[in-house]
A and B are shown apart, each in its own frame.
Chain A
Amino acid sequence: MLSAGDKVVLSLMVFIPLAIVLFFVWFPALATVFLSFTTWSGIGGLKAIHADGIQNYHQIATNYPPFVPALEHNVLWLVVFIVFATPLGILIAVLLDQKIRGSRIYQSLIFLPVMLSLALIGIIWELMYSNNYGLINSLIGRNGQTNFIDWLGNPKLNIWAVLVEASWRQVGYVMVLYLAGLKAVDPTLREAATVDGATPWQTFWRVVFPVLRPINVIIVVITVIESLRAFDLVYITNGGTNGLELLSVLVTRNILGQQSRIGFGSSLGVVLLVIALVPIITFLVQQLREEKRR
């Protein structure tokens, strides 16, 4: 059926992209796991890599003070996204889907932050949070030399301040994805529910929400992954220190810092990888199920 030339072309079409993704993503991912059981400063080539058992993990668990705060912050990030940002985005999508007047304007404006880079979002919010010059302190009259609220400097407050920034973007992201899903729902389903006397509330929860199962899964996956990836906002704010530690920052610190501890940094990466596998596998299972149904 296929000529010899066709076979060569086909294998190149698969092989070149595959080689890139295997070499630049999957090989490093496996190497992270391997290196996490070793010590290596990066100096002296591959020969200087020494097996070290689970020593790195032991140290993370017992003798690495930033680990627990970082883990807590990642969990907090996830919780805020799940109980606040994501539901708010879904709620806005549902409200906009009622075809009310001006819904396009609302949608465009709430969507705007999704276009901006997280680094830029961090700077825009520094202008909001600034001790003496920021809009927030100015509005509540706490912008004096002594009575200001140090939103981004106070280690008890700053994670919440940054979570507001992150939610600012996440809400619009979820809203747009959910709106696309809602628009794809067969309108006769809703009409049938209304004819049967269902309230809008019942129609949404009993008819629309179950139909949107695939998109619900995707939104949960995105929510979890975005909260694991969180890095840019805290890095631009203060380098991810002093109350803004995250797992992603700790990993990076071991290669960007003065002393590079490849093995130790890798074991932190593995912690991140293990958590990330949960949403990734959820997503794959969902997709394969869809695939079979087709």
Chain B
Amino acid sequence: MTAAASVDSLMTTAPITRRRTSERKHVGSHVFLLIITVLWTAPLLWAMYTSLRPYGETAKYGYLSLPHHLTFSNFRNAWSQADILHYFWNSVIITLPAVVITLGLASCVAYVLSRFSFWFNIPLLIIFVSANLLPPQVIITPLYRIYLTIHVPHFISSSGLLYNSYAGLIVVNTAFQLGFCVFVLSNYMKTIPNEITEAALVDGASVWTRYWKLTLPLCRPALAALATLLTTWIYNDFFWAITLISSGNKRPITSALANLQGQYFTNQNLLAAGALITAVPTLLVYVLLQKQFIAGLSLGSSKG
């Protein structure tokens, strides 16, 4: 009976000890990852802590001190003083159309590249993909002059030029991101079996129907991942807006930070609050759509 009990206990404890030893084997990894994680989260936690403390308190006790009061007043002040809603709206006006147009156009090219084998497929892919890899500064000097010469109707741009207009930023973001999306979408479409579209071919469906009604719906996962990625990237753009928009009040929020920093955010607490407000949209994406974002990144790196 004792023998049976010990066998029994052996059988139940064996898997547990095995798991324990495997966790013990990972102690080194855990310590290392914990240190990295603490170091990596410190800057954001510090910004949050600073933003939640009244200025008077930090002036009195120093920034590295225990809290007496925590308040959202810095956020309220930053929001109202710097007219942040206005800059958010600028970001929306630029980001949303840019994402939709980029995905629409990129999926067209990707469809042609993945469903037909023309002689120009490879050159076309090269033209799109390498455009996305150029540093923006390589093209900015002539682009800046081009933007100053292209006239557009006044209902598109109040300046009458592509320079200093929302349309101009939409166009440049679209042109630059097309390559990445063409690359990802054409790889993705190649993984969709051809039989589906061939069946439609027998029914005599047009190219447009096959693209719009058959292929695109099957690309929904890739389109969702890319939309998440593009929204974040274009929202985060700094360079195009700094160089191609001259009036501060037309700038989207990310590039407006450069001006707001000195003008309105006069102390560390306000600066922290103002900066964190601008992070809210990307943090929402991070919390709700992190999987989509990562899926988009990995679609770009591990083909298909």
With A95-B29, A100-B29, A110-B36 as contacts: A225 and B133 at CB distance below 8 Å: yes
Cβ-based interface call for B86 (8 A)? no
| B135 proximal to A (CB < 8 A) | yes
Cβ of B112 < 8 Å from any Cβ of A? yes
- Rounded to whole angstroms, the CA-CA distance of A228 and B239 in the bound complex is 13
User: In the assembly, what is the distance between CA of A276 and CA of B294, in Å?
Assistant: 26
* A154 CB, nearest partner CB in chain B, Å: 20
Which residue of chain B has the shortest Cβ distance to A35 in the bound complex?
A: B142
Task: Report yes or no: A95 in contact with B138, Cβ–Cβ below 8 A.
Answer: no
Complex: A111 Cα to B232 Cα, angstroms: 14
A26 touches B257 (CB 8 A): no
Stretch of A13-21, A60-68, A202-210 with 4 or more beta carbons under 8 angstroms from chain B? A13-21
How many whole Å from B119's CB to the nearest CB in chain A? 13
| Chain A residues closer than 8 Å to B279, beta-carbon distance | 116-117, 120
A32 and B50 alpha carbons, distance in the complex (Å): 45
B27 to chain A: closest residue by CB: A100
CA distance A23 to B282 in the complex (A): 31
Residues of B near A130 (CB, < 8 A) are 268
Stretch of B5-13, B67-75, B77-85, B270-278 at the chain-chain interface: B270-278
List, in ascending order, chain A residues with CB within 8 A of B302's CB.
Answer: 180-181, 184, 214-215
User: In terms of DSSP, what is the predominant structure of the interface of chain B?
Assistant: helix
Q: Does A22 contact B (CB under 8 A)?
A: yes
B145: A residues at CB distance < 8 A: 42, 262
B257 touching A112 by the CB < 8 A rule?
Answer: no
Task: Count A-side interface residues using an 8 Å CB cutoff.
Answer: 104
Known A-B contacts A24-B143, A273-B134; A124 and B47 likewise in contact (beta carbons under 8 Å): yes
Measured between beta carbons, the chain A residues less than 8 angstroms from B283 are: 115
A residues 143-201 with Cβ under 8 Å of B?
143, 168, 171-173, 176-177, 180-181, 184
Q: Is B33's CB under 8 angstroms from A95's CB?
A: yes
B137 touches A248 (CB 8 A): yes
Bound complex: CA A229 to CA B138 (Å): 9
**In whole Å, how far is B99's beta carbon from the nearest beta carbon of chain A?**
15
| Interface flag for B242 (CB, 8 Å) | yes
Which single residue of chain A is at the shortest CB-CB distance from B265?
A123
Of residues 36 to 58 in B, which have CB atoms within 8 Å of A's CB atoms? 36-37, 40-44, 46-47, 50, 58
Q: CB within 8 A of B108: which of A14, A229, A290? A: A14
B21 to chain A, nearest CB (A): 13
Q: Which of B135, B146, B206, B272 contacts A228 (CB 8 A)?
A: B135
- The reply to whether A119 and B30 form a contact with Cβ atoms under 8 Å apart is no
Q: Is the CB of B36 within 8 A of A21?
A: no
Q: Evaluate whether A236 and B257 lie within 8 angstroms (CB atoms) in the complex, with A113-B40, A176-B294 already known.
A: yes
Closest Cβ of chain A to B234, distance in Å, is 10
* Distance from B11 Cβ to chain A, minimum over Cβ atoms (Å): 24
CB distance from B205 to the nearest CB of A (A): 10
Q: Which residues of A (238-254) have their CB < 8 Å from a CB of B?
A: 247-248, 251-252, 254
A20 touches B105 (CB 8 A): yes
> Interface with A: B151-159, B171-179, B192-200, which one?
B171-179
Q: Are A176 and B44 in contact (CB under 8 A)?
A: no
User: Among B40, B41, B239, B261, which residue has its beta carbon within 8 angstroms of that of A123?
Assistant: B261
* A-B contacts, 15 listed (Cβ < 8 Å): A13-B111, A17-B182, A20-B171, A20-B175, A119-B254, A125-B43, A225-B133, A232-B238, A248-B137, A252-B243, A254-B141, A255-B144, A266-B141, A269-B140, A272-B135
Other A-B contacts than A117-B278, A119-B238, A279-B133, 4 sampled, CB-CB below 8 A, are A20-B175, A119-B258, A273-B138, A291-B122
A: which residues have CB within 8 A of B? Answer: 2-3, 5-6, 9-10, 13-14, 16-18, 20-29, 31-32, 35, 42, 88, 92, 95-96, 98, 100-102, 105-106, 108-113, 115-120, 123-128, 130, 133-135, 138-139, 143, 168, 171-173, 176-177, 180-181, 184, 214-215, 218-219, 221, 225, 228-229, 231-232, 235-236, 247-248, 251-252, 254-256, 262, 265-266, 269-270, 272-273, 276, 279-280, 283-284, 287-288, 290-291
Chain B residues within 8 Å of A, Cβ to Cβ: 23, 26, 29-30, 32-33, 36-37, 40-44, 46-47, 50, 58, 62-64, 105-106, 108-109, 111-112, 116, 122, 124-131, 133-146, 148, 171-172, 174-176, 178-179, 182, 206-208, 211, 232, 235-239, 242-243, 254-255, 257-258, 261, 268, 271-272, 275, 278-279, 282-283, 285-286, 290, 293-294, 297-298, 301-303
